[in-house]
Structures are given as C-alpha cells and as structure tokens.
Amino acid sequence: MTLLRDNALFAAFDRAASSYDRLTAVNPGYHGHLRRSARRLRLPDGGRGMRLLDLGCGTGASTAALLAAAPRAEIVAVDASAGMLDRAAAKPWPAGVRFVHAPAEELTAAGVEGPFHAVFAAYLFRNLTDPDAVLAAVHKMLVPDGRLAVHEYTLRGRPVDRAVWSAVCSAIVEPAGRLVGDRELYHHLRRSVLDFDTAPVFASRMTTAGFESVRVLPLSGWQTNIVHTLVGRVPCSPADRR
C-alpha cells in the first residue's frame, strides 16, 4: 500500500471523520499535548488583537487547543477534507473562529490572506506532497516576529524510536483503525511517520524556509521521542527575511 496523497488523502479523511474524535479521545495525551504545543507559541495577552491560522484543523481538536492558548484572538481554521471540517464547524465556537475548506497549498485562492501573527499546524506536514512550498507560503503570511508551531509525529531519529512507533502501530493504531473500518488511513499513518523527516531534519527545513530560533521541544508519555513541537519565528528585520 503506497502513501495517500492529495485528493486520495482528503477522501480518506472524509471517510474517517465520523470516528476520528472517538479514536483521539482514547489516545492518552492527544488533547493535552496539542494544548501544550499551542502554548509554546507564547502568544501574549490571550492573543488580543492577533490573527491566528490553524492549518489542517481536522475536526477542530487543534483549533480548540489554539483557542485555549489565545482566547482573545481571531482564528482561521483550514482543512482540505470537507468531512473533517464539517465535524469541526458543527461544534460550538466563539464568534472569532471561522472554518475554511481549502488545501494548505491553495490558501489565497480560497480567500485566506495574511498577515497572521501565528500559525499552528498539527499532524499536517507529514501529509503534504511539498512541505517546503507550504513552509515558504506560511513564512510569507506571517508578520515579522510571527510564530510557527508544528506539532507532528517526527521521530527523534534513533532505531529504537522507529521500533517503538512500529510496535505501537502493530499493537494499537492499526487494530483500532480496522475496528472502525478504516484500515487504509491508519496504515498511511504508520508509513508516513516512518517515511517522514526526523525532528532534527524538519527543524532544518524550517531554518531553510527562513524561520529563526527554531527549536525541537519534547512531549511526554508514550509520545516521548515520537511526537515533537517544532517552533520557529520570522525574523523581525526585513533584511533578515527571505
């Protein structure tokens, strides 16, 4: 089975949407870790006067985490799967939160314009055909000193991390996927993590895209060395911007 990309991936998320929240609810740390990553954006004053982008918002778990970190901000939440987005939009949200159906690669065409003060992307980049192009687009949409937090399955890079991830998938992730009738997407999850960047490699990608002060931050629980928050900021001085 090859990796799912673009329309095939969005369709797989459409099919998974009805069971997605049930599966994440039994994943220990899922919501707490998203909130921790969102807090790592260090948005002052509850995000008052700020515009934030949640890229790949899915059913809204990452949007809720962003809202908890910045309850006074305006939040635009984008996803390419109509099924996932419908689930998100059906939840109760304050007036400052809106949802847009669009691929991350076509934000402007969908009417999503910068500038944003911060971008949060949780479990998105591993799924993209061209992560560098999306990093460059995000960089352009951010204000000087604007922040990016990427929350992602990015292995630390040792053989033991691959072994732990493979064991978790064989014992829990793939059987859970089969239980909800979704073998394909959860196999994609296993393979896409193994094929994607390690955390240090993704950090280098962010630096190459023009982000500065890039840091790889750990998370706890079974996700230790498997899920990381990667944070970076856009340089303040125009001379430093690419």
Ligand X SMILES: C[S@@+](CC[C@H](N)C(=O)[O-])C[C@H]1O[C@@H](n2cnc3c(N)ncnc32)[C@H](O)[C@@H]1O
Residues near ligand X, by CB under 6 A = 9-10, 13, 34, 56-58, 61-62, 79-81, 84, 103-105, 122-124, 127-128
Q: How far is the CB of 235 from ligand X (least distance, A)?
A: 26
Kindly tell me which of 168 and 235 has the beta carbon lying closer to ligand X: 168
CB of residue 238 to ligand X, shortest distance in Å: 29
Pick 25 or 236: Cβ nearer ligand X: 25
Residue 239 beta carbon to ligand X: minimum distance, rounded to whole angstroms? 32
CB of 69 closer than 8 Å to CB of 38: yes
- Which one, 4 or 199, has the nearer CB to ligand X? 4
| Residue with nearest beta carbon to ligand X | 58
Least distance CB 210 / ligand X (angstroms): 21
Q: Output 124 or 214, the one with its CB closest to ligand X.
A: 124
